[in-house]
Amino acid sequence: MIRSTPESPVQRTARVLRTQASHCDTLGSPLYAGLLRHAADDLLAAGPTAAVLDGHLADPGRSALALRMLGGVHALVLTGRAPELAGFYPTAGGSADAGPEAALAWPAMRRVLEAHAAQIRSWLDHPPQTNEVGRGAALAGALCYLVAETARPVHLVELGASAGLNLRADRFWISGAGVSYGDESSPVRMPGGWAGRPPPVRPVDVVSRTGGDLSPVDPLSQDGRLLLSAYIWADQVARMERLRGALDLAAQVPADLRAEPASATIAGITLVPGTWTVLWHSIMQQYLDAEQAREVADGVAAVGATATESARFAHVTLELVKGTPQTPVEVTTWPGGTRRLLGTAPPHGLPVTWTA
């Protein structure tokens, strides 16, 4: 009988970096994919990557350690402290050829890891705060479906809201599939954001916006804007443009952000006669442990049980399904607890392919 040799923590973490590299390839970031593969090799060779990740080699896969490290590096680039690497980062105005598998960019990143290890390590203790604006295209379409079913004002609530940027999704401009939604002068523009059989476009009146997050980000602060910008992948300029537009919109449209777990956000929901209350979350469940996921499910069911024909409740989700490249856009409505698949989207949200 041949026994396999168990992985060391270093080997396991190198595998985690390579797995994230494959995800970056799939999601259109060849720069990050290449840098992470080089970082995995550097970790195994006890290079600067090993010093940066020391003490985090046992972090669970759902902690997104690779993205935490890349966020710390990107923050240095965006604040002008890594000018050589900035030349390879389009989000910072860089245009230099990174080379196959980012071979030309890697030496610059390796020097950043070596020179700024302490600053990058400070990013490893906190979850990524992407607040991906593209996912708001799914929410906006789902709201159209709901108000087409019953035209009522909306109380919007988000779990894992980060900076609450998608709580303003009704103010985005989205086009595609022969329709357009929203004000074309919106600072958040998503041409081609919808495909398939489009939602029934309707005006959506959001009368309150509430978000809960364990560590909410202030989108109006300099630190908050840097945090959110740093987690954008450095070769995906369109994502950065959407983020900057959403930050401008956040300064115009207020939202109530609360530092609390998802279960507390749900417990604070009271359904209001004559309105929809819409609970929404996107790519959030992967960060919950089993007990937390059960608390969310039980809380949603409890709120749904209080719904009436006058005080209606909807649960809209865009959450990963293991083994599938597309993410379902689903809605469950009460009274009745009817669940529907509205469409699918990639994890970053665009385009949404509507099928309902």
Domain extent listing, the chain = 9-121, 133-354
Given a cut of 80, whether residue 1 has pLDDT beyond it is no
Q: What is the mean pLDDT of residues 255-273?
A: 98
Could you count the other beta carbons within 10 Å of the beta carbon of residue 326?
A: 13
Contacts with 95 (C-beta within 8 Å, 6 or more apart), sequence order? 87
Given a cut of 70, whether residue 233 has pLDDT beyond it is yes
Query: What is the CATH architecture of 133-354?
Result: 3-Layer(aba) Sandwich (3.40)
- CA angle 154–155–157, rounded 5-degree value: 130
Residues present in the chain in total: 356
Helix axes of 106-115 and 65-78: crossing angle, nearest 10 degrees = 90
Query: Average pLDDT of the chain?
Result: 96
| DSSP-based three-state secondary structure for 140 | helix
pLDDT digit string (tens) for 131-155?
999 999 999 999 999 999 999 999 9
CA distances from 108 to 24, 89, 114, 316 (A): 20, 11, 10, 43
Given a cut of 80, whether residue 327 has pLDDT beyond it is yes
Cis? peptide before 335, omega within 30° of 0? yes
Q: With 0-12 CB in 10 A as exposed, 13-18 as middle and 19+ as buried, what is 97?
A: exposed
pLDDT digit string (tens) for 274-309?
999 999 999 999 889 899 999 999 999 999 999 999
Confidence of residue 4 (pLDDT cuts 50, 70, 90): low
Given a cut of 80, whether residue 2 has pLDDT beyond it is no
Q: What is the mean pLDDT of residues 113-134?
A: 94
pLDDT digit string (tens) for 56-81?
999 988 889 999 999 999 999 999 99
Confidence of residue 3 (pLDDT cuts 50, 70, 90): low
Cα–Cα nearest to 316, from 346, 353, 277, 262:
277
Residue 225: the pLDDT is 97
- Helix residue ranges, H only, 102-236: 106-115, 117-121, 136-149, 222-230
Confidence of residue 219 (pLDDT cuts 50, 70, 90): very high
Confidence of residue 129 (pLDDT cuts 50, 70, 90): confident
pTM: 0.92
Distance, in Å, from the CA atom of 189 to the CA atom of 175, rounded to the nearest integer, reads 8
CA distances from 146 to 87, 142, 192, 333 (A): 46, 6, 22, 9
Largest separation between any pair of C-alpha atoms in the chain: 68
First and final CA of the chain: distance in angstroms? 53
Residue 169: the pLDDT is 98
